[in-house]
Amino acid sequence: MTCPYCNAPDTRVIDSRPASEGGAIRRRRECENCGRRFTTYERAQVEPLMVLKRSGRKETFNPEKLLRGLLLACEKRPVDTEALQRFAYSFEDNVDTAEITSEEIGLKALAFLREQDPVAYIRFASVYREFNSVENFIDEIRRLEQREDRSGGERRTKRKALRSP
């Protein structure tokens, strides 16, 4: 590190300790040229997750935007709001890349909602997949039921019990 007093390139660390509750490292340095001491702080620079939109535009990931979409899909449904918040706010932590497409975010949200509530899943899918007819809804419901049939889904069993006279 360059000395701020004489601009000499050679300094040495004489003390190092955590600062800002572990979010930084405080270092005391001494210039080997002029002998003056100074303090530096080292922090990790975290790059925000970038979202590549369908239009090709990029924007910073916003967990609030994801949460709004989830809450809208789950409105008046028996879904734990805290689970939605945990999903939205921990989303960035579960992504291994610096960039993600909006399509990938939507697919992950659909997978999450499929496990939470089938009605919320269909609502979210209708916006995400841009349904424009009743047939789109019917097709998606059939796919959801087939998936539950393959997994021996508990919800399927409950629905059949409700339909039976």
pLDDT digits (tens, 9 = 90+) for 81-94: 999 999 999 898 88
Distance of CA 39 to the CA centre of its chain: 36
Say which residue the tokens 């009743």 belong to: 134
Name beta bridge partners: 27.
16, 40
**Token pair for residue 75?**
């409105």
In this prediction, residue 144 has a pLDDT band, given cuts at 50, 70 and 90, of confident
Give dist(CA 148, CA 156) in Å, integer: 6
User: Which pLDDT score, from 0 to 100, does residue 165 have?
Assistant: 40
How confident is the model over 50-63, as a mean pLDDT?
Answer: 94
In this prediction, residue 96 has a pLDDT band, given cuts at 50, 70 and 90, of confident
- 67 contacts 85 by C-beta, under 8 angstroms: yes
In this prediction, residue 164 has a pLDDT band, given cuts at 50, 70 and 90, of very low
pTM above threshold 0.75: no
DSSP 8-state class, residue 47: P
User: Which pLDDT score, from 0 to 100, does residue 57 have?
Assistant: 96
**Token pair for residue 41?**
């702080």
Q: Each residue of 36-51: b (16+ CB within 10 Å) or e?
A: eeeeeeeeeeeeebeb
Give dist(CA 76, CA 36) in Å, integer: 65
Give dist(CA 33, CA 9) in Å, integer: 9
